[in-house]
Amino acid sequence: MLQKVSGFIQSHRLCQPESRILAAVSGGIDSTVLCEVLHQLKYDFAIAHCNFGLRAEEAEADQVFVKKLAKKYGVPYFTENFSTRAFAEQEKLSIQMAARTLRYQWFEQVRRQEGYDYIATAHHSNDTTETILLHLTKGTGIAGLHGIPPQNGHIIRPLLSVTKDDIYDFVTSEKIIWREDSSNDTTKYQRNKIRHEVIPVLKEINPSLEETMRHTAERVSHAEAIVEAYIGNLREQTVKEADNAVYISLVPLRNATGLPVVLHELLRPYNFSYTVVLELVEALDGLSGKQFDSPTHKLVKDRDQLVLTPRNLSSFGSTAIQEGDTAVEAGNLSFSIRYVDAALYKLNTKPHVAALDADQLKFPLKLRPWQEGDWFVPLGMNGKKKISDFLIDKKVPANLKPQTLVLVSEQSIAWVAGHRPDNRFKVTDKTARVMEITMQRKPA
């Protein structure tokens, strides 16, 4: 399998031997194999892992497993916790789409900040088949028929030429251990229904279904390149970027052949669905000011142009606090930080202020929204308490609960911001240095 993957990387020019690669790793069989392949092919890689806060203890165990995997290979490890349900509810997205939006935005953020050349995902040949069938079932354009491309910008898929059977053979021969995601077995998700109930029937007709689909996807990709050349010319005439916004002039598009398809292609980098594009086309002759949404952007029709602005997704992730930081911002909240000699410190017991034993904290700290399954030991107590129960006891209104942030040291919660510190990090007579962190809401 190593030769197959290496040949695929070279033939598609996915990366160079000296490239620095950020591997997206869930801990499942596919991404664990991706790590072993990158290791054996001697690539310089790091591991990035997302905890979407959807499976409580199981997700925590995945996080621990992936951290150990990074230690095994001696590579850098990056992790992020997301409030996926809150994001999905606010943006009216499926959980799967919300998770996809958040993780790719974060992967790109890490890639840029840490200086990696590519983001590698563990998609394989079976994923291409599932993706094409799913798109056909729900309705799609040309882009939906090319399946999963080997490369999309900085994202590469080194395993795309291998099948799931190849992967199982590899883990057997290499004696690889991985984490099994229990959600992969349920058919309540559309992709799983395709995988477990539809594909087996199609393979009775064509046992080489994955290979056939891969060749079809390649031919569609060539046809798509012809369309993209036409769209590229229009993009040069119509699209401009300035002041963190994208402006699309409607004047050159008025007489374009197949306007809905043209607009969909122009807006595809900003994740607008074809259904939304059809609504937009109907509104082009209407009044200015109508708004349209994608998971990552907002679009407003303004006279003879469309104006796109990115959403702020950071409030659904986390904010890092490095030792020595004096201020950070998280969404509409600001936090000021100071360090004081314990002998000189006068305790502040207000709920928006936390006094913590600085030497018990493990930096970098993280400020993030609380998640189902989170727990802490409230100050003054010896036993742990679920944050969901704590917020109920505090009578926090339902619409304010998702906005509650927690300060995390490694995997332990040190403070439920605005409410109560954790007893394990309290200031005691043995404390040498106090970290005081104060929360303030920014003016509207």
**Rg (Cα) of the chain, in Å, rounded?**
25
The gap between the terminal CA atoms of the chain, to the nearest Å, is 56
- 31 labelled binding-site residue: yes
Which ranges constitute the DSSP H helices of 239-314?
A: 259-267, 274-283
What pLDDT does residue 243 have?
65
What pLDDT does residue 188 have?
66
- 336 labelled binding-site residue: no
What pLDDT does residue 242 have?
78
Sorting pLDDT into bands at 50, 70 and 90, what band is 187? low
What pLDDT does residue 398 have?
72
Mean pLDDT of the 111-140 span: 91
Of residues 286 and 201, more confidently modeled: 201
* Alpha carbon separation from 55 to 77, 117, 438 (Å, rounded): 21, 31, 31
pTM above 0.75, yes or no: no
How big is the chain, counted in residues?
Answer: 444
Assess contact for 441 and 435: CB atoms under 8 A.
no
Lowest mean pLDDT across 45-54, 286-295, 394-403? 394-403
- Name every residue whose Cβ is closer than 8 Å to that of residue 258 and which is 6 or more positions away in sequence: none
What pLDDT does residue 106 have?
95
Sorting pLDDT into bands at 50, 70 and 90, what band is 205? very high
Lowest mean pLDDT across 108-112, 146-150, 202-206, 350-354? 146-150
Which run of H or E residues covers position 290? none
Of residues 313 and 290, more confidently modeled: 290
* Alpha carbon separation from 352 to 83, 286, 421 (Å, rounded): 22, 48, 10
- 177 labelled binding-site residue: no
- 115 labelled binding-site residue: no
pLDDT in tens, 47-106: 999 999 888 788 899 999 999 999 999 999 999 999 899 888 888 788 888 899 999 999
What pLDDT does residue 220 have?
87
- Read off φ and ψ for residue 329, nearest 5 degrees: -125, 145
Mean pLDDT of the 105-130 span: 94
What pLDDT does residue 97 have?
87
* Alpha carbon separation from 244 to 129, 280, 289, 311, 412 (Å, rounded): 37, 22, 19, 11, 36
- 27 labelled binding-site residue: yes
- 117 labelled binding-site residue: no
pLDDT in tens, 319-337: 889 888 999 988 778 999 9
Give the relative orientation of helices 125-138 and 209-238 as an angle to the nearest 10 degrees. Answer: 60
Strands 118-120 and 155-156: parallel
Residue 224 neighbours by CB distance under 10 Å:
19
Assess contact for 209 and 215: CB atoms under 8 A.
no
Q: Which two tokens stand for residue 339?
A: 């360090």
Sorting pLDDT into bands at 50, 70 and 90, what band is 185? low
Cα–Cα distance for residue pair 210/192, rounded to 1 Å: 16
